[in-house]
Structures are given as structure tokens and as C-alpha cells.
Amino acid sequence: MKLSSWNVNSVRLRLPQIERFLSETAPDILCLQEIKCLEDQFPAKAFAEAGYPFQSVCGQKGMHGVATVSRLPLQAADSLNFCPQEEARAQAVKVAGFELFNLYVPAGGDEPDVNSNPKFAHKLEYLDRMKSRFAARSDQNHAPIVLVGDLNIAPGEFDVWSHKQLLRVVSHTPVEVAALKAVQESFGFVDMARICVPEPEPLFTWWSYRSKDWTKNNRGRRLDHIWLSKALALQGDNDDFSFEAHSHCRSWERPSDHAPVTLEFMAPEQ
């Protein structure tokens, strides 16, 4: 199974780049975040013509939104209530014998203070709802689950260009990292990027638009994630998994500020 995830920052604006990525990489499933359109505005025909006729879209006018397109049939799963403001930031489907969660965690604004910054409080509440929902499940040891998306947190020291300088910057603060770790531990999720690309190798998936030449200073952060539940992560040896952050896509014309990420893994027998 080859699964990709990408915050495209507008699916309609970025459609040529997405089509190029699908042609070059050919994932079985592509999860998109920040599609910035309603369901009826989603370019469904273009994806079907690219070989992805199975589609699930959770849209919102002008902002947010997530979508999953697939070569394989998709089944709707239980609706998600992670977002306290009821924004289009979460989607769950069933495909190829596993549950797939496609998430777009709020960025959290500029100030890492829940009292002065409502956006930061919103982000932490979203994460707390994720933790509570997964902790309430009783199938942690055997449920095949894949969780992907722009989680807007770079958890590790080598997931940012400067651990020391970003400790007080939203996306890498200790309170956010702890909240994300609590979500991960609530269901025993395995962060597959760091299984396949162990620290201390730097690994980034996002570079600010403010940098005139992102390749020159490489001030990136790993905000995009693919996690597997224990039931999937323990199915094989580490050599059975392959992870890639497609950083070259960040240099394409009119790029997203995020690069797509891909994981190859063994899907459960159906």
C-alpha cells in the first residue's frame, strides 16, 4: 500500500502540481488538507481522470477542508468531532481493510498563550479531543488505523531547523509537543517517519513562503505526519516500510508551502 498526504493550500489552485505528483509518484491513496473549497467545487472529474475515482470530500467555503482520493473503494466511517469550532478539519473513511483518519489540526496563531490567543487555545482543545476520543476506544491492540495529515506540530529536536530558536514559536513549543505526544500515546500510534528516517537526521515537510530561497537556508519544520496503529506497525520489520518527504515539490511553480509525504506499508488482509 502506498499512501500520500499533502497540505495543498487550495486544491483548485494547486491542481496542476497535484496531477504531476500523482503521475510521478502513483500512490494508491492521496489525502489532502486545506483544500479551500466546498464539496461541489472539488475537481472530482480531474481526479477520476487521473485514476482516482473514489473520493470523499469534507469542504468549507474559502478555508480549511480535507479530502481523500483513492484507486480503491472508500467507505464512510463515523463522523469526527475533534474541532470545537466545527470547521472542516477531520475526515474518517474505511479503505483496504483499515480506518483512515485525514486531519488538519489548527495552526494556532502566533502567540503560544491560551489566555491571550484564542487560536492557540483552539488548537490545544482540538488535540485534547483527539486524545480523549482515541483513549476511549477499547481496540488499541488490534484495530488497523492510519492517521495522516497536517498536524501543525514539529515534535522532535531534528524536526525543526533550530530546536533552541523555535522553542517559543507556535508549532514547536513544549506544550504542543506534549499534547501531540499524549494523542500518540492514547492509542499507541507509531510515528512512521521516524521509524524509517531515524533521528538525528533532519526531516522537514514545510518551509515558509516568507523565505525568498527556501533551499538556501532550509529553515523547515516537520508538520506533516503519517502514523500507524500498533496492529499495522507491528505487521512487519522496519525494512517493510518506506517513508519519503517529497521536498522537491516545494520548488515547483506556484507551490504549496508544504511538501507531500508518502508511506509504503503492508495493508491488512481483507
pLDDT digits (tens, 9 = 90+) for 233-250: 998 788 899 999 999 999
Position 270 confidence tier, pLDDT thresholds 50, 70, 90: low
Task: Give the model's pLDDT for residue 79.
Answer: 80
β-partners of residue 58 are 66
Tell me the mean pLDDT in the region 149-172: 98
Beta-carbon count within 10 A of 102 CB: 26
Task: Give the model's pLDDT for residue 29.
Answer: 98
pLDDT at 269 over 70: no
Neighbouring residues of 111: CB distance < 8 A, sequence distance ≥ 6: 117, 120, 170
pLDDT digits (tens, 9 = 90+) for 257-266: 999 999 999 9
Q: The pTM is what? A: 0.97
Query: In the block, which residue shows the cell 495529515?
Result: 149
pLDDT at 216 over 90: no
Task: Give the model's pLDDT for residue 84.
Answer: 95
Domain range list for the chain: 2-264
Task: Give the model's pLDDT for residue 91.
Answer: 97
Nearest to 215 by CA among 225, 203, 223, 207: 207
Instruction: Return the SS3 of 16.
Output: helix
Task: Give the model's pLDDT for residue 180.
Answer: 98
Going by the DSSP 8-state scheme, the letter that residue 201 receives in this structure is: S
Average pLDDT, the chain: 96
Report the CATH number of the 2-264 domain. 3.60.10.10
CA angle 219, 221, 224 (to 5 degrees): 145
